[in-house]
Amino acid sequence: MVRNRVCFGICLAVLWAGLISASAVVQAQAPANPPPGGAEGKPSVVPGSIRGQDLEDVIEPLTPARPRTPAEQARVDALAWFGTGRVLQGRGDLSGAFDAYVKSIEKDPNVLAVYRQVIPLALHLNKPEVALRSVEKATELAPNDYEWLVQLAELQVRTENLGGAINSLEKATRLPSLDPKSTAFIVLKNQLGQWYLATQRFVDASRVLEPVFAAVLDPAPYKLSPQLRNQILANVSFEKFGEVFLQGGNPDLALNALTKAVEKRGSKTGDLSFLLALAQLEKGDANQSLAELQGYLDGNRQSKRQTAYDLLGQVLEKLGLKQELLPRLEQAAMKDLRNPYLQLSLAEQYVAANRLDEAETLFKKTLGVSADARGYAGLAGVYRRRGKPSELLSALSSSFGEAGSSKVIETELQALVSDQALANSVLQLGQDQLRSEPGKLKFPQGYVLANLAAEAKQTDLMVEFYRHLLRIRNERGAQLYEELGQHLVDARRYQQAAEVFGEAARSVGFQERSQFEYQQAFALTMAGKFEQGLEVIRRLMNDNERNPAYPFREAWILGHARKFDEAIAAYERLLSRYPELPQIQRLGRSGLSNVYVSKGDLRKGEEVLEQVYRDTPDDISVNNDLGYLYADQGKNLEQAEQMIRKAVEAEPDNGAYLDSLGWVLHRRGKHAEALPLIEKAVEKGQGSGDETLHEHLGDVLDKLDRTADALAAWKRSRQLADQNPFPDPLLIQRLDDKIRVGEQGRKPSPVDDKAP
């Protein structure tokens, strides 16, 4: 009897789910030809019925008044498998339970309860992809449940999709179901702020941590417990809040947080004085900033290195006392001989004052005791001014060796490139050593020379140095391949870049391979190898169907190859598949608009961009693109100029934006104003599309009666159009007409303001 009870207890859940579909099961199990009667003359069992014990009535099957629809039957089957999974999980058969849950989802993917069971089980069984897909589906089924989005973010972090995790948390914090005065809201904002800090997105970190700071100051409205408040402050102190708000451009809030830090600490010790000085300067109070900074300097602190003395220079300049910086540093250096950062800052001021002997002596003395990347870069500046190539290369290499990157020497490299003779002398030194004694050319020297060659546009020599680096430093292979390939792209050696990216993909690990193949697809396309580029990107799409970058690149390649109908279809698939990703929606619609415009359907391209503009009116790229499209059609020119100026103000060195502004001014008849803008755009170059810049330059010059210069610009545009792997036939026809008319000594026909 005990055994029967155990059996009953175990089987009940399965029977409960299974009996929901009892009529179908009974019908399937009934004998096809039942016997005519019982052994003792009892009545025959009705076909389809269930015979009970002796003397019991026959159990008739339930015939539903309305047969189930396929969807209803799928739901019943899904629940049956769900019940099976629960029973198997209770028995400890986790693999069997997981399989049952998966079958339940296959029967009906809209049963939310199944996902609550399958997600942790999938993680336990090391099936993160199943868990991720399950959470993504659950967020669709319960879009207002922030907990699913939080769980999705956690899984995205596990799969190294940090951008997706950030988007999921952002979406969770905006849900109307999440009370912005709740503890959960503050916890989510705090977590989101940590991720923004980890990715150095300080403006976003400042934005999302603002309510967290408010809750820490006044916990009651948020129902924030003392324990949770202390936990938040353990990770983000008042001082750290202040620093984040400073980096995010909110000096008032930074001052508030830093003042709280002073109150809690009881003094302005540590870096608080420096941060207060920075906040006061950002707020516009240079006098108070100087007073706060003096507190840091008087303490002979070194934590901020040379940055403290940079700030002193900024404050003094703001007060109109720039000339006091050098004597102040000299006086301070006499009192604090053991502060290397003060000594190096003084040496930098000697260089600025052209007191090179004093600068060199102080640099050497200080660096001999305390090596410093910025100090070596300063010493390199001395040798550059004195024209000493060997010493200059040594100082630059030492700076790179200390920093581990070329960031500190970027300014010096650019200054060196402007002195072509000296740059060539330094490169010649490296080349001679590479070819005579390659073993003696160490990594720091080779890396500096490779970057110098790239800056000097000596591409073949740059490749030679990078190849040497790849031979001697395998552990940095991925970074070196990335830089070499990108330098080749910048030099428009697309086929060579594609070969480098392909070689890199074969040389690095699995995690990095896809990134190099993605870049290879781009380079192949730019080299005119359209089919090869598509083959690479589609292989990536098959390997990882969830990454939206791959279908976006596919659509881009199709559009670039002027396969417009296929590109339009690809962009529309992308947009319909990722409606929840605002960046993909914006980029996809912009790409779709470009395809329509290139196809000649200007109105359709304009409609697509106008929709994006309505959704994101402050997006500078959309302002530029739509403004340019208006200008190119000669319509809404005043509005177009305002839109494009917004883009130029945000990125004043962007060549595409400068060309757009010049073009709309040209369309408005302001040719003299347009010329310097388009000339600057041509000087910067855009790579693909430079032929359009030169055509614009020729059109503006022609309006200014500089016919010979206009003809030269059109011819250069025609030359670039021929070099484009996918030339624009309409552009080529226009250029041929302009060149023919210009060579005949006649003015081209006036531009139709209603035509592209």
- Report the CATH number at residue 86: 1.25.40.10
- pLDDT surpasses 50 at 351: yes
Q: What is the pLDDT of residue 322?
A: 93
Which of 44-53, 469-478, 716-725 is the least confident region? 44-53
CB-CB contact of 658 with 684 (8 Å): yes
Between residues 723 and 641, the one the model is more confident about = 641
Alpha-carbon 604 to chain mean position: 29
Q: Per the domain annotation, does 467 fall within a domain?
A: no
Domain-located, residue 127: yes
307 pLDDT higher than 90: yes
What is the CB neighbour count within 10 angstroms for residue 572?
13
Question: pTM above the 0.75 mark?
Answer: no
615 contacts 631 by C-beta, under 8 angstroms? no
Lowest mean pLDDT among 171-175, 265-269, 689-693: 265-269
Residue with the larger pLDDT of the pair 106 and 55:
106
Q: Which residue pairs from 747-750 have beta carbons closer than 8 angstroms and sit at least 24 positions apart in sequence?
A: 747/702, 747/707, 748/702
| Residue 232, CA distances (Å) to 131, 184, 248 in order | 29, 13, 19
Q: Which of 113, 141, 169 is the last residue of a domain?
A: 141
Identity of the residue numbered 688: S
pLDDT attached to residue 38: 42
Cα angle value 30/33/38 (rounded, 5°)? 90
Q: What pLDDT was estimated at residue 3?
A: 38
| Inside any domain, residue 63 | no
Say what percent of the chain tops pLDDT 90.
55
The pLDDT, as a whole number, for residue 15 is 28
Q: Which residues of 320-338 are buried (b: 16+ CB within 10 A; e: fewer)?
A: eeeeebbebbeebbeeeee
What is the domain extent for residue 123? 1-25+68-141
Is residue 6 within a helix (H) or strand (E), and if so which, with residue range?
helix 2-18
pLDDT digits (tens, 9 = 90+) for 582-598: 788 888 999 999 999 88
Across 453-470, average pLDDT: 95
**Percentage above 70 pLDDT, the chain:** 89
Domain boundary at 89, 112, 141, which?
141
Asked if the structure places residue 677 within a domain, the reply is yes
**Given this model, what pLDDT does residue 23 score?**
34
Check pLDDT > 50 for residue 30.
no
| Lowest model confidence (mean pLDDT) among 286-300, 425-439, 735-749 | 735-749
Q: What is the pLDDT of residues 267-300, one digit of tens each?
A: 777 789 999 999 999 999 999 999 999 988 888 8
Cβ neighbours of 660 (radius 10 Å)? 30
Residue scoring higher pLDDT (163 or 454): 454
Residue 727 near residue 734, CB atoms below 8 Å? no
Residue after which a domain boundary falls, among 119, 141, 163: 141
Higher confidence at residue 599 or residue 29? 599
Average pLDDT, the chain: 86
pLDDT digits (tens, 9 = 90+) for 115-168: 888 888 888 888 877 887 888 888 888 887 888 888 888 877 877 778 878 888
Q: Has residue 329 been placed in a domain?
A: no
The answer on pLDDT for 749 being more than 60 is no
The answer to the question of residue 523 being in a domain is: no
- Confidence band of 715 (pLDDT split at 50, 70, 90): very high
Q: Is residue 519 part of a domain?
A: no
Q: How many domains does the chain have?
A: 2
Largest separation between any pair of C-alpha atoms in the chain? 126
**692 or 689: whose pLDDT is higher?**
692
pLDDT at 686: 60
Given this model, what pLDDT does residue 60 score?
66
CA atoms within 13 A on the CB side of 198: 12
pLDDT at 68: 83
Does residue 707 sit within a domain? yes
Average pLDDT over residues 106-121: 86
Which pLDDT band holds residue 67 (cuts at 50, 70, 90)?
Answer: confident
How high is the pLDDT of residue 58?
62
Q: Give the mean model confidence (pLDDT) for residues 37-46.
A: 43
Compute CA distances 756 → 70, 608, 717, whole Å: 55, 17, 17
**For position 569, what pLDDT does the model report?**
96
